[in-house]
Amino acid sequence: MKITVAIPIYNAERHLNVTLDSLINQTMDSNDYEVICVNDVSTDNSVKVVETYMEKQNNIKLINRTENSGGPMLPRNDAINEAKGEYILFLDNDDFIGEETLERFYKSAKEYNSDVIFGKYIGVNGRVVPQSMFKYGNLPNAEILDHNLVFSLAPHKMFKVDLIREHNIRFHKEAVVGEDQLFVMQCFVKAKVITVLSDYEYYYVVKRGDENLSLKYFPAKNFFYSFNNIMKTIEESDLSSLYKTKLSAAFLNRFLHASRLRGHIFSNLLTTEQKIDWLNETKKFIDNHVSDELINLLPSRFHYFVLIARENDLQKLLMVHKRMESVSPNQITRVENGWIYARFKNTKKYLAYDEEHTVNHVNKSDVFVDNIVLDETHCEISGQFYQSLLINMNVNNELVLVHRKSGIEKRVVDNLVSNSGQFKFKFNYQEFVIDENSVGPWDVFIEGTIGGYRKRRRLGQARRTDLVKRVNMDHKGILPRLTNSTKEEVNTEKEISFDHVLSFGKKYIVKAYFTKGHDNLSFDIKLNK
């Protein structure tokens, strides 16, 4: 048997036909795969629906549990124990798969000797599904960190059964939330080969309108079960020390961003007593798993939360959180090692503190182009670049030209104006037209740096409405004024070429233009043959 498809079923009568139809219509021979439906004591006609399909297909099996388990965890374990396939694919009872999914999965899994394999997800009825890991194309051996797999911890994947059984990986009954993340992370850590396929619409995740659990209350201890064990899984793994640190930070970032933890503590959903309980468990989690090194690897928007939660001070946490969004330039004390620090003070009788917190996440930037002048050999760009929290700081601005294909950067460091927040750069085209590897688009950015902190913005879209680009060449004339023409017309007008740029004996054509769609400034380089 090649594949076992495991479907936990609970009151799925309305949706089950679509799920099962997608399985009986697979291009894989029905003798090569089995479908195990685990009925978790449904109270509707789900069992009858499955039995109807069993009369048509001899590869569909039904397991009837005698006691409702309260979730898909134990039914999935039942399927693991009964599976006869080399691989097991977990499918929810209201989702469905493309008709070539099993055949494609198995072929690729055997070709690459995959321990875990999954394909492109498609959201149905407005369901939002992760996509960033699919932008790289097919990945025979994907990297958890490099390919964003930490953001794809749903169980809708195919796993090698021997991997699961050898390491005794199961879904945990105690995990009332995040049980799928724990199972998948355990498999990711143990897997030698994880394969990601982007060449077909493999798995359709359906939104039914009743899957938002954010308003349901879970005791904090139960909530943290999965996440404590995920961190423990990483810490106790055979991965290299540096990789474990990076993976722990990546998961922690995901956890703080996507979980309901901060939402519960900062919202009005919980009573003060419940929030205290959640903060107690948060402190335990941080004490056990979150070092200062990990905190420094997190975005600044989580720093104050972790640091104050470690103190277990609910009132202070709520107050700093409330004041975080109104930080002013006057509160900035220093910029060091890439972090912007602001002073937070409170001198109330029962709540007093005077300390710094990082505020990178509330630093807003604004860029505006005043003028662009092009001539036969040079381009001059001037404008304004302000950062909301750094107006009193001496920020160093540089112009950065980035080769779109290779990522090579050419920096223009000589700012011709000294006024804070303003810039004026002039550069020769030959500075970035170096050789044939220079051909293709070069995008233009402004970058401000101070104390290791960097803020980069794309140039061109925000500009004077009456901006005229002058070309000091008799045979080229003047580029038209910007108008309210359509995007296509504007982008046809706003471009000009210099066909005489000479570099190491070869001639190049340099075309300045504004990109379609985003309307930013770029230079396109072509070899003049």
Exposure string over 127-144, b if 16+ CB within 10 A, otherwise e: eebbeebbeeebbeebeb
Per-residue pLDDT reduced to its tens digit, 460-512: 999 987 664 444 433 333 333 333 333 333 333 345 556 667 777 778 888 88
> Do 193 and 255 lie in a common domain?
no
DSSP letter (8 states) at residue 478: B
> Do 15 and 63 lie in a common domain?
yes
Which residues on neighbouring strands pair with residue 448, listed in sequence order?
A: 397, 455
> Do 61 and 133 lie in a common domain?
yes
| Residue 421 lies inside a defined structural domain of this protein | yes
| Residue 481 lies inside a defined structural domain of this protein | yes
In contact, 39 and 70? CB cutoff 8 Å? no
> Which residue among 206, 229, 260 closes a domain?
206
> Do 53 and 164 lie in a common domain?
yes
| Residue 213 lies inside a defined structural domain of this protein | no
Average per-residue pLDDT for the chain: 90
| Residue 212 lies inside a defined structural domain of this protein | no
| Residue 108 lies inside a defined structural domain of this protein | yes
pLDDT at 90 over 60: yes
- Helix axis angle, 272-289 to 314-324, nearest 10°: 90
Q: How far apart are CA 169 and CA 156, in angstroms?
A: 16
> Do 386 and 333 lie in a common domain?
no
Per-residue pLDDT reduced to its tens digit, 397-423: 999 999 999 999 999 999 999 887 899
> Which residue among 346, 362, 378 closes a domain?
362
DSSP letter (8 states) at residue 485: -
Query: For the whole model, what pTM was predicted?
Result: 0.87
| Residue 211 lies inside a defined structural domain of this protein | no
In this structure, the chain runs to a length of: 529
> Do 394 and 521 lie in a common domain?
yes
Per-residue pLDDT reduced to its tens digit, 125-167: 988 999 999 999 999 999 999 999 999 999 999 999 999 999 9
DSSP letter (8 states) at residue 395: P
The structural domain count of the chain equals: 3
> Do 406 and 481 lie in a common domain?
yes
> Do 347 and 393 lie in a common domain?
no
Range of the structural domain that residue 419 is part of: 365-527
Q: Cβ neighbours of residue 135 under 8 Å, at least 6 residues apart?
A: 198
| Residue 74 lies inside a defined structural domain of this protein | yes
Per-residue pLDDT reduced to its tens digit, 333-388: 999 999 999 999 999 888 999 999 999 999 999 999 999 888 888 899 999 999 99
Q: Can you read off the two tokens belonging to residue 316?
A: 């202070």
| Residue 214 lies inside a defined structural domain of this protein | no
> Which residue among 327, 362, 397 closes a domain?
362
pLDDT at 435 over 50: yes
